[in-house]
């Protein structure tokens, strides 16, 4: 199956995605890693968001067709990108499961954004202003909302696994 974690930067989706992938022995695909790698290309690409997502979809589909569970980690700000991830699973003939990761406490969310360090060499993490100005559309489809405020990583992963029946 494909488990798609989405949400604003700093909400905790990368932390949860990695922990979930480790627990399930799943393939982990992160849009930030792909996009940053494309920006470092000799082609001098700058606007790579759609390319990053397209590459992520392709890698996810290859791995789903091999029978692997895939955990996809991306902001996934629009209905069209959310549907595209689900379409990948559908083409591969496997179910998909959407998780929106949020941090309901604005002060805590801001603290996380302003104090985090990039784990990708040379990758600039977004500022709090970037997060506030992000074109992030409200969800209109079903998903599990996981609020990371005052919850441990293990508790959040437990919640996702429980919803998935694991």
Name the domain count of the chain.
1
List, for residues 93-118, the tens digit of each pLDDT value.
999 999 999 999 999 999 999 999 88
Task: Give the other-Cβ count within 10 Å of 53's Cβ.
Answer: 21
Cα separation of the two ends of the chain: 12
Which residues on neighbouring strands pair with residue 97, listed in sequence order? 3
CATH classification of the domain holding 120: 3.40.50.300
Q: What is the pLDDT of residue 122?
A: 78
User: Which runs of E-coded beta strand occur in 31-161?
Assistant: 70-73, 96-102, 144-147
**Residue 119's domain spans which residues?**
2-164
Q: What is the pLDDT of residue 51?
A: 83
List, for residues 25-82, the tens digit of each pLDDT value.
999 999 989 888 777 777 766 675 678 889 999 999 999 999 999 999 999 999 999 9
Rounded CA-CA distance 53/61 in Å is: 12
Rounded CA-CA distance 135/35 in Å is: 18
- Is the model more confident about 45 or about 129? 129
């Amino acid at each position: 199956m494909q488990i798609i974690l989405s949400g604003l930067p700093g909400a905790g989706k990368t932390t949860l995605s990695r922990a979930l992938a480790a627990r399930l022995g799943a393939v982990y695909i992160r849009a930030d890693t792909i996009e940053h790698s494309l920006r470092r290309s000799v082609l001098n690409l700058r606007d790579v968001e759609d390319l990053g997502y397209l590459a992520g979809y392709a890698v996810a589909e290859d791995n789903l067709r091999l029978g692997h569970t895939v955990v996809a980690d991306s902001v996934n700000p629009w209905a069209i990108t959310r549907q595209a991830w689900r379409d990948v699973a559908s083409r591969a003939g496997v179910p998909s499961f959407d998780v929106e990761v949020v941090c309901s406490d604005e002060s805590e969310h801001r603290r996380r954004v302003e104090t985090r360090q990039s784990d990708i060499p040379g990758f600039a993490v977004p500022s709090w202003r970037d997060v506030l100005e992000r074109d992030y559309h409200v969800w209109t489809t079903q998903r599990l909302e996981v609020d990371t405020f005052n919850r441990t990583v293990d508790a959040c992963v437990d919640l996702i696994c429980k919803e998935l029946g694991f």
